[in-house]
Amino acid sequence: EDQVTQSPEALRLQEGESSSLNCSYTVSGLRGLFWYRQDPGKGPEFLFTLYSAGEEKEKERLKATLTKKESFLHITAPKPEDSATYLCAVQARDSNYQLIWGAGTKLIIKP
């Protein structure tokens, strides 16, 4: 069964303290892995799409990487405005285009 697991469930960091969020997946043929950011009471906002192992993408303080079994979202020198829930989703070959979502990691950056 296709599955996406995110860890940790929650992460508290001091401003400037770098860390990584994990998204591990089990799917039959990966077509794409997506990262979204969700602020409280709002819809998820697209961050990155990764398609193959070894691929990396960056945006400001965020960097996403992909292996054959997992993806990491690295946050470098985070600021309080980076506080949000980060969602990972995968699109599998046999999923009829649908995304399989992880439960998310709630990131809190303290000033």
Partner 1 sequence: DSGVTQTPKHLITATGQRVTLRCSPRSGDLSVYWYQQSLDQGLQFLIQYYNGEERAKGNILERFSAQQFPDLHSELNLSSLELGDSALYFCASSAQGGFGEKLFFGSGTQLSVL
Q: Is 22 in the site for partner 1 (CB under 8 A)?
A: no
Quote the CA–CA distance of 50 and 32 in Å, as a whole number.
6
- DSSP letter at 64 equals E
Q: Tell me how far apart the alpha carbons of residues 42 and 11 are, in angstroms, rounded to a whole number.
A: 20
Which one among 21, 84, 87, 109 touches partner 1, defined by CB under 8 A? 87
**With CB under 8 A as the contact rule, which of the stretches 9-17, 19-27, 41-49, 54-62 interacts with partner 1?**
41-49
The residue among 11 and 33 lying less far from partner 1, judged by its C-beta, is: 33
| Residues contacting residue 69 through CB under 8 Å, at least 6 positions apart | 24, 25, 26
Binding site for partner 1 (CB under 8 A): 31-32, 34, 41-46, 49, 51, 87, 91, 96-99, 101-104
